[in-house]
Chains A and B, each alone.
Chain A
Amino acid sequence: KQEVTQIPAALSVPEGENLVLNCSFTDSAIYNLQWFRQDPGKGLTSLLLIQSSQREQTSGRLNASLDKSSGRSTLYIAASQPGDSATYLCAVSVVKAAGNKLTFGGGTRVLVKP
């Protein structure tokens, strides 16, 4: 059974500091990995998707790496801003003939202080 863990559960940093969020998964047979952002009481916004054959993906200040063999992904957010305060979730996708499903970690709650 695939299990996804995110550590730490919460993180508080001063504005301008770089953020490093960790995600680990137990089964390396994944199709892809997605990072999401969730604001309180809202839905999920997709930030980055990394295919299992890729090592990293970048979008603006965000960079995500994937090491499938060790079951780890890291999301880097450069020069954090108060607007980056949110919960960040990682999810791994397993694709079968019947379809695909996402297995999520518990999330890391981030607070960026001005």
Chain B
Amino acid sequence: DAGVTQSPTHLIKTRGQQVTLRCSPKSGHDTVSWYQQALGQGPQFIFQYYEEEERQRGNFPDRFSGHQFPNYSSELNVNALLLGDSALYLCASNLVWQGTYEQYFGPGTRLTVT
């Protein structure tokens, strides 16, 4: 049973650049959520995708955007990178009709902005 996978594992970018992170949900799941975790803090909700649409969004600027594909995989795009965007980006998936809404997390992508 394939769990949540994310790529790449690590990424180094320069201020002002753009980055794309990728996530494949756990087998059978249809909903993908993205979280940002700064060092020493708990994860913060960025947004959630279901049926290829953004369903909920946290308090993040429009520089953060996403996409969900027909196979339920997802991308997180961040434009005009700032030093403060350096963080661990976590992807989580769940199955809407499961009832528990239990979210399963991937290993994360460590983004460093220099």
| A81 touches B (CB below 8 Å) | no
With beta carbons under 8 angstroms apart, the residue of B35, B102, B106 that contacts A46 is B102
| B105 touches A (CB below 8 Å) | yes
Chain A residues in 8 Å Cβ range of B70? none
| A76 touches B (CB below 8 Å) | no
Chain B residues in 8 Å Cβ range of A104? 35, 42-44
Write the B1-13 contact mask toward A (1 if CB under 8 angstroms, else 0): 0001010000000
| B73 touches A (CB below 8 Å) | no
Chain A proximity of B78: nearest CB distance (Å)? 19
Chain A residues in 8 Å Cβ range of B92? 44, 102
Which bracket fits the contact residues of B? 20 to 34
Write the B88-107 contact mask toward A (1 if CB under 8 angstroms, else 0): 10101010100011111111
Residue on B with the closest CB to A31?
A: B101
A101 adjacent to B100 (CB under 8 Å): no
Measuring CB to CB, which residues of chain A are less than 8 angstroms from any residue of chain B? 4, 6, 31-32, 34, 36, 41-46, 49, 51, 89, 91, 93, 95-96, 98-107
Measuring CB to CB, which residues of chain B are less than 8 angstroms from any residue of chain A? 4, 6, 31, 33, 35, 40-45, 48, 50, 55-56, 58, 88, 90, 92, 94, 96, 100-108, 110
Other contacts beyond A102-B33, A102-B92: 20, CB < 8 A: A32-B101, A32-B102, A44-B90, A45-B105, A46-B105, A89-B42, A91-B43, A93-B101, A99-B31, A99-B48, A99-B55, A99-B96, A102-B35, A102-B43, A102-B45, A103-B45, A104-B35, A104-B43, A105-B42, A106-B41
